[in-house]
Amino acid sequence: MPRKIKLYSLALRDIENGIAFYQQQQKGLGKRFENKVHTTFKKNQKFPFTASLAYENVRYKVMDTFPYIILYEITDSYIYVHRIFHTHQEPLY
């Protein structure tokens, strides 16, 4: 059974900010970004350990199409998403 995705509040904010930013750039692009985030989550659920280790137990997955990285931790039951950030940003913890 695949692990459930749990988003920390900062990760949820990151998604909302990304959607808003891309929607301002072009109508419908925000929705495409949101769909790509969800597609990446599904890949992470199927193959959670294929992403590289960033540090300690935190892994990172580079998204296709959009220049974003997803930082997450894996437990027996969950994938905890810490942040989703643009590759030109420095994530704040």
Pairwise CA distance, residues 22 & 57, whole Å:
31
pLDDT on residue 47? 92
Q: Is pLDDT at 1 greater than 80 in this prediction?
A: no
In order of their start, the domains of the chain are 4-86 (3.30.2310.20)
Residue located via tokens 């509040």: 9
Which runs of consecutive H residues, i.e. helices, occur in 1-93?
9-25, 29-46
Report residue 18's pLDDT band, with 50, 70 and 90 as the boundaries: very high
pLDDT on residue 46? 92
pLDDT tens-digit series, residues 24-59: 999 999 999 999 999 999 999 999 999 999 888 999
Question: Phi and psi (nearest 5°) for 92?
Answer: -105, 135
Report residue 87's pLDDT band, with 50, 70 and 90 as the boundaries: confident
What mean pLDDT is predicted for residues 16-30?
96
Cα-Cα-Cα-Cα dihedral sign, residues 88, 19, 16, 71: negative
Using DSSP's 3-state secondary structure scheme, residue 48 falls into helix
Q: Is pLDDT at 91 greater than 70 in this prediction?
A: no
C-alpha 73, offset from chain centre = 11
